[in-house]
Amino acid sequence: MNIQNKAWRTIWVEQGGHSIGVINQTKLPHEFLTCTLSNYQDVVEAIKTMKVRGAPLIGVAGAYGLMLAIQEDPDDSFLELASSKLLATRPTAVNLLWALTRVLERVKPLSLAERAEAARLEADLIAEEDVAMCEAIGVHGCELIQKLASARPVERQKEPLNLLTHCNAGWLATVDWGTALAPIYKAHRAGVDLHVWVDETRPRNQGASLTAYELSREGIPHTLIVDNAGGYLMQHGYVDAVIVGADRVTRSGDVCNKIGTYLKALAAQDNDLPFYVAIPSSTIDWSMSDGVREIPIEIRSPREITHIDGCLLESAINTRLATIQISPSGTKGFNPAFDITPSRLVSALITERGVTSSREEGLKKLFPDLSNGQHP
């Protein structure tokens, strides 16, 4: 996507493949900084600290991390070590496991001398496929949005279509385009009059910082709300549909996404509104069925709750990034990063192969090649 007329991706190869560059997402929207990751430990640190985040992007970053590890030492034992360290950075998104497995399976049959080149090609392929999958999600989701817009009562069709999204599932969460935002970008470019309600997404405020940033750069009308406000908006007819991404989807269609997603799905159901989840197939975990019982939920530091980062306005011209504490000193916090939206609350899944029901039959029909034999 474009930032000040320059096309950017979130991740790229530097120095002929001996390092990778990423946008440091912890400083957005206040500062646009990039950083260079020169070895797999740098990638581990970048994922842990959320310089790089978003399930699809974590997968791609993991693949490049393994590429850097192989350059360091192509031996099996080192690969296993690097892979396990990369995998342990964040437990919930399945894309990381998927991408690491792809690279490992690609290089393991090869001689040590061939591995670095093969890993580079495989990581590049994963990145390119991510772009293609996200763009395809955009195309299919755009059709859905166009149908939604024209299915409204005639008097409502003069108003923008109101979509609500949670967290950031835009191009910053992938290599390009995004998942939940890809249909919005495509629909906007196709001339659909739309407006996006942007959930702040506590505790890390990815909506307020990243989604608002993305949408403003694309010129898409949007309004920031607190996570608490979605129910009110739906009660009063200000939302036409909800669209979110996911970090893992079970074969039965249970959706694991950023904490708070489940609450929006409940409100959508209570107000008869469609709730869509946009995912590349790399987000589907065919080995799992029951999201609440089976998907590991990352518990992050309570400091993310008790302290908030932002831009301190010291004077009209002098600003700097700073951290404030919002609770009494010593207050304990508990910070689960994801929750599960049961498939019964999901109206449809938007994938790179099209839109399907969030039921096992629907997923299997769309992905017979992926679902076969990967679970009992």
Alpha-carbon gap, residue 96 to 94, rounded angstroms: 5
User: Do β-strands 338-341 and 348-351 pair in parallel, antiparallel, or remain unpaired?
Assistant: unpaired
Name which of residues 163 to 222 contact a second copy (CB under 8 A): 197, 200-203, 205, 208-209, 212-213, 216, 222
Region binding a second copy by CB under 8 A among candidate stretches 96-104, 148-156, 243-251, 332-340: 332-340
244, burial (CB in 10 Å: exposed 0-12, middle 13-18, buried 19+): buried
Task: Point out the catalytic residue in the list 130, 247, 254, 285.
Answer: 247
- Verify whether residue 130 is a known catalytic residue: no
Tell me, rounded to whole angstroms, the distance of Cα 170 from its chain centroid: 7
Residues 263-292 vs a second copy: string with x where CB under 8 A? xx-xx--x---------------------x
Burial code of 210-230, b = ≥16 C-beta within 10 A, e = fewer?
bbbbbbebbebebebbebebb
Question: Residue 180: what residue type?
Answer: A
Q: How far apart are the first and last CA of the chain?
A: 41
Question: Residue 152: what residue type?
Answer: R
**Smaller CB separation from a second copy, 30 or 359:** 30
Residue 260 contacts a second copy per CB under 8 A: yes
Alpha-carbon gap, residue 130 to 179, rounded angstroms: 10
**Smaller CB separation from a second copy, 190 or 312:** 312
**Contact residue for a second copy among 3, 33, 151, 226 (CB under 8 A):** 226
Residue 224 contacts a second copy per CB under 8 A: yes
CB of 291 to a second copy, least distance (A): 9
Question: Residue 55: what residue type?
Answer: A
DSSP state, 252? T
Residue 311 contacts a second copy per CB under 8 A: yes
**Smaller CB separation from a second copy, 6 or 332:** 332
Alpha-carbon gap, residue 107 to 117, rounded angstroms: 9
Residue 335 contacts a second copy per CB under 8 A: yes
Measured in degrees and rounded to the nearest 5, phi and psi for residue 273 equal -115, 145
Region binding a second copy by CB under 8 A among candidate stretches 10-18, 282-290, 338-346, 350-358: 338-346
Where do contacts with a second copy occur on this chain (CB under 8 A)?
A: 29-30, 197, 200-203, 205, 208-209, 212-213, 216, 222-233, 235-236, 258-260, 262-264, 266-267, 270, 292, 297, 302, 305-313, 322-328, 330-336, 338-340
Instruction: Report, as residue numbers or ranges, the catalytic residues.
Output: 247
